[in-house]
Structure formats: structure tokens, C-alpha cells
Amino acid sequence: MSEKRRRRETTHPRTGFWIGDTEVVPGSVVDIELEMARLPTRGPMTLPVRVFRGRIEGPKIWLSAAIHGDELSGIEIIRRALEGIDVHSLRGTVIAVPIVNVHGFLNRTRALPDGRDLNRSFPGSRRGSLTARLAWLFMSEIASKCDYGLDFHTATSDRINLPQLRADLSDPQTRALAEAFGAPVTIDARTRDGSLREVATKRGARVLLFEGGEAQRFDEASISAGVDGVHRVLEYLGMHGHHRRKAGRTRRRYVATGSSWVRAPRSGLFRSAVHNGETVSVGDELGVIANAFGDDAIVVRSKLAGVIVSMALNPVVHQGDALVHVAFVEG
């Protein structure tokens, strides 16, 4: 927000719906560039935002991705989801921010140049570090103006996630929203300190965090699940009813009370015997760890029962490394 506009609003408060210096009028689609920093070259670095504001007032929801700059599938989820939104029949407002961590995206890294994790830095500070300033900008201009949020992530490097939701299922409204989204697995997960989900939830928004695929890749299964989930949520909220999904095979959906990693009992090369989405019982074989010659092999067995929601991709493991992530499913 410019100092000139801030002084003006002190005596002449704005009416209508604004993001930054831009008013978004009913029945419009507006692209906005929010300046978040100046580069060492003196040029501006901006946060790209697209706003769909329906002619009829209704819920306000944000769609965000690439809070970690190397997590790309959410960008494609948002792009495809926006193709199915007709602003003329939309009730309410959709704010799309497909690349939140622009610095990390351009540098193909998870964090910002100051090395901080953006998703542990909310609500941020207008005069803090680069990461804190971006967190503050997103909270003040996007999240604080919405009733709901869908935040899209992938696994970190060298892991791959099954499409899944993280949500506070103890809250009835959040649980209903998660059921509407319809991910293959929904995990009842506590919020983490400094995360967007934690801070926005404390300020009254209902937030779902979607995980799917791997860093630096488009994962089609995750993208498809994410796009359908967005439109199911919009339909559930009564924001639009014109999106029609293709009929397909009904898959079982799991609700999990928590999750935990099975870790490597020793170092070596791990040859997996399971895949994401499989159910496992206590004692099931998950794979084998051996040395490069195949000697000293040890079978890794599950100490947990549930559905596999994430796996390590790099076969080179050290003792204690996370191998297979199991969600404890209900029923």
C-alpha cells in the first residue's frame, strides 16, 4: 500500500473491495501486481494476483500455491481451476495467487534468498526480513480478506506425496469443507506454528492444505484431484454451479486421525516393495535395505497400520531416514 493512499484513507476510508491500490468491482476479472520488494538492480519484484469478483455478493476464498518455490503442481491446479470459473455466474469472490514465493520459484528453491521458510513466518512483519515482509503482504492483502483458503503444496525434495488434505477436523465447518473437497486421504492435522493455515485459522478463516506429487514436477494425479477439489468446494459454498466433472470410477476416500513415518533401521540402498495409496498392516514388508552388492540385507517391516501417503524417492538412505509415511485411517 502506498503512503499516499494510506494518508488518503485516514480521512477518507474506502468503500468496495480493494487489493493494494486496485478496486475490484462486481462482475470483473482483474490482474493485480502487488509490489513486495525491490531487487538489488532497483527493479520491483511483484506478487501476481488474479481476482474473480461475481456480480452477487458471497463467500471470499483464496487459492494459493508455491509458498515453497520448488512446489509446482499447485500452480497448474490453480491455472486449470480458473478455466472453469465464469465470473458472470459466480457468487462471491475468488482470489488466485498461484506463485506466492516468487523469489524461490525463479531460483528453483524452497526458501527465499534470506533462507527462511515462508510457511513458518506468518503473520510476518511489514518491516521485517524479506520472508517476513512477504508473509505480511499475503496476510494483509489476501488472507485477511477471505472467509476460506485452499493452499496447495507438494512433497519436499526426494519424496512423493499421495494427493491428500491436512485440516482441523475437530471444527465442523472445516470438516464439511474437507469432505466437499474429496481428496483420496484427509488427515486430521494440527497446525504448525507460523504456518499460513495456523495464522489464518486464528483470524477466522477455514483453511485446507492440499499436498500431492513431488517438488519440481507436475504430477497429473495430484493436479486432477486438486482441480476437482477446488470446484467441489466452490459448489459446496454455493459460489457457482456450472462446472461439470467427468464421470469416473469412484475411489475409496480415507479419513485419518494422524500419521507417522517408518524410518530406516540401518544405512544402505532401499528397494521399496510398496507404493503410495496402498494399505499396510503391522508386520507387512515395505522393502529391503542392503549394501551395493546386496549383502547384509534387512527387510523393513511396517510398525504401523494404515494407508501410505508419502514415500522417499532416493534409494540411498542413512539410519533413521524417513522411508514410508503411513496415515492412520478411521474404520
**Which CATH number characterizes residue 307's domain?**
2.40.50.100
Three-class SS of residue 87?
Answer: coil
Question: Does residue 187 carry a pLDDT above 50?
Answer: yes
Calculate the average pLDDT of the chain. Answer: 93
Q: 183 in helix, strand or coil? A: coil
- Indicate the range of 35-44, 46-55, 153-162, 227-236 predicted with least confidence: 35-44
Q: Are residues 216 and 270 in the same domain?
A: no
* Of the listed ranges 10-19, 217-226, 315-324, the one predicted with least confidence: 10-19
Domain that holds residue 306: 257-329
Instruction: Examine the pLDDT at 246 and tell me if it is beyond 90.
Output: no
Among the listed residues 33, 28, 34, the one whose alpha carbon sits nearest the alpha carbon of residue 93: 28
In a domain, 245, yes or no: no
In terms of domains, do 83 and 207 share one?
yes
In this structure, are 164 and 88 located in the same domain?
yes
Indicate whether 41 pLDDT > 60: yes
DSSP H or E segment with residue 312: strand 306-312
Cis peptide before 123 (omega within 30 of 0): yes
Judge whether 243 lies within some domain: no
Q: Checking phi first, is residue 88 left (phi over 0); if not, alpha (psi -120 to 50) or beta? A: alpha
Say yes or no: 104 and 218 in one domain: yes
Share of the chain above pLDDT 70, in %: 92
243-258 residues labelled b (16+ CB within 10 A) or e (exposed): beeeeeeeeeebbbee
The CA angle 204-89-60, to the nearest 5 degrees, is 10
Asked if 278 contacts 305 with a C-beta cutoff of 8 angstroms, the reply is: no
Same domain, 144 and 191: yes
Task: Pick the last residue of a domain from 236, 266, 294.
Answer: 236
Q: How confident is the model at residue 241 (pLDDT cuts 50, 70, 90)?
A: low
Identify whether residues 33 and 87 lie together within a single domain.
yes
- Residue 294 inside a domain? The answer is yes
Structure confidence at residue 171 (pLDDT): 97
Q: Are residues 222 and 316 in the same domain?
A: no
Residue 277: closest CA among 255, 304, 250, 308: 308
Asked if the model's pLDDT at residue 244 lies above 80, the reply is no
pLDDT of 242: 54
pTM of whole model > 0.75?
A: yes
pLDDT over 80 at 46, yes or no: yes
